[in-house]
Structure 1
Amino acid sequence: MTTAQFNLTPSLFHFAYYDTLKQSLNDKPHSITTDLPDASWHTHDEIECILYLGNLCHYKIDNQTFTLYKGDVLVIPAHTPHQAIYEEKINHARYVIRLSSELYQQFVLSNPTYTQGLNDLITKAKIYRLNTGDLDYILQEFQCIVPLVSKANDIYPFAIAYHLFQAMIHLVQSSQSNRLPGNYHEDHHFSHIIYYIDHHFRDPNLQLQRITEEFGLSPYYFSKLFRREMNLNFHDYLIQKRANYAANLMRSFPQHSLSLQEVASQSGFGDYSTFYRSFKKTFTQSPKDFMRSLAK
């Protein structure tokens, strides 16, 4: 890769760091911090790469839904319709990079060894779940880019292309997986806990004690950890997950003609009275009133 191969200008490359809660991440320096972009359906002319550093986020891309946890990288091909779905009061920090197809092809041509991997990277939307080492490496590369972008004017220095290229190669070398790498005991990523909850919340027996036993944590430590990371307590998070799932089931009527009792059961509520109280707490109206509002 030589300097002459890259003419890096703002029209070819976009780099930003977003953090809705304005939180510092492990006291690491970030000089680019703004509110999150619009969450409506949209497309970009460029390839988009998102390094997610928050706790939980969903992306709808064409007809698929992708769930991002801390440390995930989402690659979205150019001209692909997508929409981010954010849960309120949760940190959604992320790096967002958009690359023009012209610049991306310069990357591909600069190193034939990774031609196939780099081309595969942008054929369809993918999530790359990084292990701790790969995540730290890519974060270091991005943190090297931040001050360079901040100081640049019309032409970005070659060093930006170098650091970006190194991060992309790490993505190519990372294997795609449907589960989080490692486990909580090995790397202490809170995302393992959220991943577990999001895949078991419909089980009415999922309670705080089961999770603390699963991850070997004391209830007191887990409660403090959860509130610190998610900005709400575990019980409220679980209620919201179940209530939102129930609401989505009701929105799917009449395709799925379920009784409210069946909705409660399928959403993880042990009984209807608990469902009623939880749903009303989340949506400020009863399940029946919610159903009536959908019919209007």
Structure 2
Amino acid sequence: MAAVKLEQYLVSVLDSTNADTNEVRLKPGNKAFNLFRVYLENHNTGIHRYQTSNPTILYEAEGMAKTKINGQNLTLKAGNLLFLQEKCGYEVEKQGKNDLLVKLEFSSKVNCADFLGEKTTLNSREQKVAEQLVQILKTKRLLSLRCSQMSRPSQLMKKVIDEYLNHNLFTRSIIAAELRILVITAIRNQDLETAPANQHKFAQTALERYIDANYTDITLNKTAEHFGLNPNYFSSLVKQKTGKSFVEHVDERRMQEARNLLARPDISVKEIIARVGYNGKSFFYKKFNEYYHETPVQMRAELFRQANINLK
């Protein structure tokens, strides 16, 4: 199959399928091939939701795909490549008639950095790039490569898919070599330090909005997942960007709410503690005193005095 005709073939596969499944598997030309499986995103209705069990490559061959990776929106345009680590949750919105999203799901725990070659064969600059790549995949669980449809990496991916579909000698060796060139070519054209893993940029205002909506039962892991980041990396990023730790941000919001509730005579201190997300009275009192330098009872008395509230 000529690479220039690959898109037409893939479209015909989708047009001919009657299965109401989220994805359509393409069978390899060589039945013994086991490096990865190839799937096409079906054009049926609804949002398609997945959880990767092994490293996966998403490749937008034609059109575009609106996705949500680990809770963050990301649009894939023609030629774009996305490397996902295992245990990544992602969603794909309904595809248009001319959209082609291809998925390569590897059968073993390969890493994108593995395609760069043995460490002993790399010079110091290349080793630094490989280390950056490993760190990005470790912290963000994905790597977005914004290649164009006519770029060499995109053309190589078409060759990989074409080779997968045909029954030729040395298929696995050819594909492994093409994937290596694909990754190296794409990586050296990217700024790994500044290229985002997704289109979401962390901002303090976004963090404050999220805490404001979830402070009663918030956790670091849940918040990091919301921003599509590794918890340890997210924790460091919050401190770096805002000058305060994640816990300090949460405590600040809880203290603000506690003060607001203390001004209401119809709510007991015990109820306030539960409402703002603390489990114990002594811990709440300790935090409150650290923040306001007085006890909740003392503050309540002053708030009542200011509001001319007399409960006696």
TM-score (norm 1): 0.42
Compute the TM-score of the two structures, normalised by the length of structure 2: 0.40
Look at both structures and tell me which one has the larger radius of gyration over its CA atoms. 2
